[in-house]
Structure 1
Amino acid sequence: MSALETVKQYYQSFNQQNWDGMLVLLHTEIRHEANQGDVRIGIEKFAEFLAKMDESYQETLSDMVFFSEPTDSRVAVEFVVNGIYKKGEEGLPEAYGQSYALPAAAFLELKEGKISRVTTYYNLPLWIELVSKPKND
């Protein structure tokens, strides 16, 4: 399977909330560089991240555009995150089921046919603005 096909399958699994389907595509020493926070290394740390995200957010990605390069080792993808903020996290606004649509991008690297790096970028201040609208009681 090409790098592009692997990455497309990874995001298809994400949209299906098939976390095991995502994890099977990762290299054992996956390097996860999220937009904010510490770098996570290893499948176990990535699985913990997925569990935390699943608890606080319900997200699907749309408007996906993939870019690959000739060595078949890196793929970039631009997308819109369509989400529902289910459970608040420390240092972030209160959650009460707010929905949001947020532009984002990711850069992925493959090694030995598996995804060895995922680096994600999005505008955190914009996301905070989107979920900080007053609650309608």
Structure 2
Amino acid sequence: MALPVGALAFYRQGMSDTHALITRYYAAFNAGDIDAMIACLSPDVAHHVNEGQVRRGTIAFRAFCDHMARCYAERLDDMVIMTTPDGTRAAAEFTVHGTYLATDKGLPPAHGQTYTLPAGGFFTIRDGQISRIVTYYNLADWMAQVSA
């Protein structure tokens, strides 16, 4: 069954808007622009970090980003963004190129080790903003790279 022309246009717009939102979010990440990242988020964003607790709200998100900037320098490449037809969900797959700058609590000592990891993010979009972020990478792979 084909969608009516108006519905198809609505779905395409939702996909396009969501794709642009996720592109802006990751461009801000690569630029180290936390304010621009937060501008993409809903005030009550739920940030599910890899191997960690859920952080809620933009204040907790900023604190996480500040911590990450102290301990890691990262750049994301090979970005592929996928969206649902209605624009309410998205996923991104990418490669993380990083340098471990300062020892993070409970992790191996940092001395400028570099690492390259496949990673991904999953998103829920509400009212044109990111309301949920789930980040995934293989922690065992990262540990092996920085411990070598």
TM over 0.5: yes
Unaligned runs of 5+ in 2: 1-15
Q: Which of 86, 101, 110 is the matching residue for 2:116?
A: 101
Displacement after TM superposition at 1:90 (Å): 1.5
| TM-score using structure 2 length | 0.88
- Structure 1: 4+ residue segments shifted above 4 A: none
Q: Which of 64, 78, 83 is the matching residue for 1:63?
A: 78
Which residue number corresponds to residue 9 of structure 1?
Answer: 24
Give CA deviations for 1:4-34 in whole Å, capped at 9, x if unaligned.
1001000000001111110111100000001
Q: Which of 23, 34, 38 is the matching residue for 1:19?
A: 34
* SS of match in other structure, 1:96: coil
> How many pairs align?
133
Displacement after TM superposition at 1:110 (Å): 0.8
1:132 pairs with 2:135: no
1:52 pairs with 2:67: yes
Unaligned runs of 5+ in 1: none
Which residue number corresponds to residue 99 of structure 2?
Answer: 84
Q: Could you tell me the percent identity over the aligned residues?
A: 40
* SS of match in other structure, 1:62: strand
* SS of match in other structure, 2:75: strand
| TM-score using structure 1 length | 0.95
